């Protein structure tokens, strides 16, 4: 078990403990990331990192034991955005034009930290709007803590991995959440069968880092792509067809 971290100013031993527990290779997570992880421990967001759930070019996802700040949850998801191997500069289209962030410095650290802050803010907006999505708990630098979606410590499967008993109902719930996001002046921007988790027949939207506000210059384009992607998936797999233009009109209230 990871011991409770103190509040001393330079937690060198605590950073070493976290590095040993994660078995992190130098060059993947730097000292700044270690300090962000230490803050998660020190702020009682998590008490122990359990194991890696997923690794990727942009982020690694860990399951952790929840601390007091995790609103009574047993587990927490920690999303640790990569810095040294980051591909985020290629995704600046989702940041440039978003009035919430203004001008972002060109350094990789600044871009990654802005992306992490952006995903936290988007998740908070989704929570307020009543959208089925992970609740955000805390963020620092390139580390984001959010609600674990799953049952009994077992992570929920993606929509792609799930054979639905009521596919029409699931599609209607996803479209209803897209509409709720739009009413909250937000567009997800990357909805697909891979970015929806299924827990007890309820679809949860995930990966909100790229979500944009409605006055972003490409918001309408991203909305149309979201609708096209999800309708296309349900058409291919379950032979459920809906008119894309009518769905968009329903979402936007035209």
Catalytic residues: 190, 207
Tell whether pTM > 0.75: yes
> What is the spatial distance between Cα 254 and Cα 99, in angstroms, rounded to a whole number?
25
What pLDDT, on a 0 to 100 scale, did the predictor assign at position 84? 64
206-247: per-residue pLDDT in tens? 999 999 999 988 999 999 999 999 999 999 999 999 999 999
80-106: per-residue pLDDT in tens? 988 765 565 566 667 766 777 666 666
Q: Which segments of the chain have a pLDDT < 70?
A: 1-29, 84-93, 96-97, 101-106
Q: Which helix (H) or strand (E) holds 22?
A: helix 12-22
Domain's final residue, options 151, 171, 188:
151
List C-alpha distances in Å: 227 to 20, 214, 248. 44, 15, 7
Is there a single domain that holds both residue 24 and residue 143? yes
Domain membership flag for residue 5 = no
In the chain, the number of structural domains is 2
Domain membership flag for residue 62 = yes
């Amino acid at each position: 078990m990871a011991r409770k971290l103190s509040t001393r100013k330079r937690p060198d031993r605590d950073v070493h403990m976290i590095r040993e527990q994660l078995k992190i290779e130098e060059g993947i997570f730097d000292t700044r990331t270690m300090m962000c992880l230490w803050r998660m421990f020190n702020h009682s967001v998590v008490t122990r990192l359990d194991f890696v759930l997923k690794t990727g070019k942009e982020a690694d996802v860990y399951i952790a034991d929840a601390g007091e700040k995790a609103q009574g949850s047993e587990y927490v998801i920690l999303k640790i955005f990569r810095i040294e191997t980051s591909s985020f500069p290629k995704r600046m289209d989702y940041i440039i034009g978003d009035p919430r962030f203004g001008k972002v410095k060109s350094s990789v650290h600044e871009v990654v930290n802005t992306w992490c802050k952006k995903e936290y803010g988007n998740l908070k907006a989704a929570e307020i709007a009543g959208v089925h999505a992970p609740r955000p708990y805390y963020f620092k630098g390139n580390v984001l803590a959010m609600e674990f979606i799953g049952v009994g410590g077992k992570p929920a499967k993606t929509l792609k991995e799930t054979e639905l008993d009521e596919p029409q109902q699931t599609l209607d719930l996803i479209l209803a959440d897209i509409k709720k996001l739009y009413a909250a002046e937000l567009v997800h921007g990357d909805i697909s069968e891979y970015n929806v988790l299924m827990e007890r027949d309820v679809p949860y939207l995930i990966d909100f880092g790229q979500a944009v506000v409605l006055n972003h210059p490409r918001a309408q384009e991203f909305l149309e792509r979201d609708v096209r992607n999800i309708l296309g998936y349900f058409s291919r797999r379950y032979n459920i067809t809906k008119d894309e233009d009518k769905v968009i009109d329903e979402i936007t209230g035209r």
